[in-house]
Amino acid sequence: MAESKRVKAFRLAIAKDIPKFPNDKASLQALQSKSLGALLIDHRKWRIRYIAPRARAVVIEPTATADPRWQSLAHEVQSLLEKVRSGADLTPYLSLQPHTRGFTPAATERGSDVDRWADKDLMLNVMGYHHLHFDAAPGNAVRSDNVMFAYVTRDKFMVVGIFNHAVFEQTESNPTITAERDHLWQIFDQRSARGLAPASVIVPTVITLSGHKIEFVRAATVYARLVAGIDPSLDDPNYVRCLYEQAGVPISKRPKVEWYLHFLDLGLLDKNVGAFICLKEGPN
């Protein structure tokens, strides 16, 4: 199927939005050369590292409250959780890496020595846990050592524990797992097996050979097929009018929509009235 101007503009906009390293023409061209489906995989594994601002209920796991740091950091904990409950933008409390390290061609090269995780958050991909600092950035040159790990959905923020930065330490040159990292894996294993019968066999996370979480690949496929299925109808005024009505969005005199991703929500944007019609909700 031929790519419409609308879909091409969408695809090229995504390629431009993803932070690249090195940030050069070759990296941009590597993204621009991809099909929409393949590009959406790269977009998802980058954008999932952010948390869309919306009010969420806070759920606190016993593994968090049992840690002595839950009491010693009580003020910092409650301050951050209040922002979660109010729907504040949590981006300042997240890692700074996604701002500049969203995609690198090096991670897609062939070979046994290729670092597939160079442009991915391993713990978020494998465990589904975001980590948040207690102090915002970039106001602080040096951030605090402690971070909160949480499983985040569209309506819940489940705190699983507090850790220091030793939780991130394990490399090929230093394969010894730290106590912090081991504790996080124990929490993940316990949560993955919760409610299952003894001796059950589980595969909590499937990672493809490219280093992408299989859920990201499937979601990208769904999004690409949705775009391909709907896009031809967007030149039909009656169809577009129905989309506005179903979304409860006031239609402009001359509606002109374009494909748009708001965090990981896929939809159509009408810049004339500043309206976003969500067609597929993202995970958070």
Give the pLDDT confidence score for residue 227 in this predicted structure: 98
Distance between CA 85 and CA 256 in Å, rounded?
A: 35
* Bridge partners, 265 (sequence order): 262
Segment 119-144, tens digit of pLDDT? 999 999 999 999 999 998 766 567 88
Give the pLDDT confidence score for residue 199 in this predicted structure: 83
Q: What's the pTM value of the predicted model, to 2 decimals?
A: 0.93
pLDDT category at 111 given cuts 50, 70, 90 is: confident
- Average pLDDT of 232-251? 92
In single-letter form, the type of residue at position 192 comes to S
Q: What is each CA distance from 2 to 6, 35, 188, in whole angstroms?
A: 11, 12, 44
Do 146 and 138 meet the contact criterion of CB atoms below 8 Å apart? no
Question: How confident is the prediction for the chain on average, in pLDDT?
Answer: 93
Segment 140-156, tens digit of pLDDT? 567 889 999 999 999 99
Domains in the chain: boundaries:
5-217
Do 35 and 2 meet the contact criterion of CB atoms below 8 Å apart? no
Distance between CA 228 and CA 222 in Å, rounded?
A: 10
pLDDT category at 90 given cuts 50, 70, 90 is: very high
Q: Which residues contact 10 (CB under 8 A, 6 or more apart)?
A: 36, 227, 258, 259, 260
Segment 7-61, tens digit of pLDDT? 999 999 999 999 999 999 999 999 999 999 999 999 999 999 999 999 999 999 9
Segment 158-171, tens digit of pLDDT? 999 999 999 998 65
